[in-house]
Each structure stands twice: as C-alpha cells, then as structure tokens.
Structure 1
Amino acid sequence: MYGSAAHNIYAQNNVEVESPAKLIEMLYEGVLRFNAQAKKAIKDGDIEKRVYWINRSTSIIVELVSILDLNQGGVSEYLNGLYNYEIQLLAEANMDNDISKIDEVSNVFKGLSDAWRETNNVAH
C-alpha cells in the first residue's frame, strides 16, 4: 500500500522513518506546515513563496493519492476523492490568493492527522 516514492521524500532529506504509519503522519504534518507557510506568503504579498509552498503541499497530497491501494475499496476510494478535492482547493487558493481555501485544506488534514494518530497509536 505504501510506495517507495513516499519514503524517498523523507530519505532524500535524511529523515529516518520508523514505519509506514509514521510516514503518513509526517506527510500530513508536512501539508499543515507548508499550508501555514503559504498563508504567511499570501499575507506578506509574496507571490513567489505562495506558489512555492502551495506546490510543496500539493506535491505531498499527490504522493498520498499515488500510494492509495484502490483495490481495498471503501476508505481508499473516499480518500482518493478527498485528496483530489484538496488539490483542487489548493489550486484555487493559489489562483485567487484565498487564505480561506488553504484553511479549509488545513482543517481537513488536521482531522486526518488526528484520526490517523488515534487509529495507529503513533506516538507524538
């Protein structure tokens, strides 16, 4: 279910990943961090940084889509649709300079992160 490409994101940055569950948690946290940076860039009127941080966040979500095992049905299919909607929101936020859309994505990923940690008992 978890592709090596996701692992490579962190391996390239010399981050040790203990488990696939921890990797997902780290990816969710990355979206939240990058969204916070994108919001700051919008508030600062820095177009280049806005684009950079939204692209980083989008790249993580694209990776999350790519590692879904859609043969599992149910939850995987739901997450596929949810992740793709979040990508769309980030694209709109980027085009429209819209912090509220970034907040919406962040709220979703905060919920996903909390649920993931609870479900997988990943120590924080």
Structure 2
Amino acid sequence: MYGTAAHNTYAQNNVGIESPTRLIEMLYEGVLRFNAQAKKSIKDGDIEKKVYWINRSIAIITELLITLDKTQGDISLYLEGLYNYEITLLTNASVDGDVAKIDEVSNVFKGLLEAWRESTNVA
C-alpha cells in the first residue's frame, strides 16, 4: 500500500513540473498503456480489470477533450469529434469485450502521439 501512495505522490509531483507539451505526450502514452492492459485483461477473461483499464483510458481521453483549446479553430473541432468517437469505441469494447475496437483506438493514439512528437520536436 505504501508503494502505491509513494508512486502517486511522485507522479503528481512529476506532472507538476512537466511542460504542457510533455503532458499531452504523457496522456497519449497513458492511453496506449492502459489499452494494452485492457486487451490483456480481455484475453485473460478478467472482466473487472478490463473495465478498470478501459475506464482509465476513457478518463484520459475525457481530460484531453475538456482541455481542448477551442480558439485553435478546425483542429480543435476535429480532435473533439475524434476523442468522442474514441470514447464510444472504448465503451463498446468494454461492453462487447472487443479487442479489435481497442486496437483501433490504440492505432489512432499511436498516430496522434507520432504527429504530436513531430510537431513539437519532442521525439
């Protein structure tokens, strides 16, 4: 239990010192990590963990959605629609236990992460 509390404190402090550019990258990476865990849980038949990991991914995407800067024009509208669609896919994957839907979301976020890194020179 102490290890988890210590890790959470470290993670909160680490996020507090990261640049906004790095935070977006970390969020995209988080979706990919949590989706991988959700896929493993589906393959293992662990419904509780499947729901847990999918909900974590949805929480990240929701955070990305609510923090979009709507003054950025078409790109923010595009991302809003994309994020909403990805949430729908993950919700359906949770209900159906559909690994293909999780893979689809992961492929989108791999592309977003790559594009983000290229556009911000963080690679």
TM-score of the superposition, structure 2-length normalised? Answer: 0.88
Look up the match of 1:37: 37
What is the identity percentage for the equivalent residue pairs of Structure 1 and Structure 2? 69
- Judged with a 3 Å threshold, the aligned counterparts in structure 2 of structure 1 residues 57 and 72 are, in CA distance, closer, same or farther, namely same
Q: What's the offset of the Cα at 1:11? A: 7.3
Q: What's the offset of the Cα at 1:14? A: 3.2
1:20 equivalent in alignment to 2:40: no
Query: Aligned AA for 1:78?
Result: Y
Q: Structure 1 or 2: larger helix share?
A: 2
Supply the distance in 2 between the matched residues of 1:59 and 1:25 (Cα, whole angstroms): 15
Supply the distance in 2 between the matched residues of 1:18 and 1:10 (Cα, whole angstroms): 15
Q: What's the offset of the Cα at 1:23? A: 0.3
Q: What's the offset of the Cα at 1:19? A: 0.8
TM-score of the superposition, structure 1-length normalised? Answer: 0.87
Supply the distance in 2 between the matched residues of 1:14 and 1:23 (Cα, whole angstroms): 12
Supply the distance in 2 between the matched residues of 1:70 and 1:90 (Cα, whole angstroms): 24
Show CA shifts across 1:34-81 (max 9, x none): 000000000000000000000000000000001101122110000000
Supply the distance in 2 between the matched residues of 1:84 and 1:10 (Cα, whole angstroms): 30
Unaligned regions of 5+ residues in structure 2, if any?
1-7
Structure (1 or 2) with the larger CA radius of gyration: 2
Query: Aligned AA for 1:82?
Result: L
Show CA shifts across 1:15-34 (max 9, x none): 24431000000000000000
Look up the match of 2:51: 51
Supply the distance in 2 between the matched residues of 1:104 and 1:87 (Cα, whole angstroms): 11
Deviating above 6 A after TM superposition, structure 1's stretches of 4 or more consecutive aligned residues are: none
Root-mean-square deviation (Å): 1.7
Unaligned regions of 5+ residues in structure 1, if any?
1-8
SS at match of 1:14: helix
Supply the distance in 2 between the matched residues of 1:10 and 1:73 (Cα, whole angstroms): 36
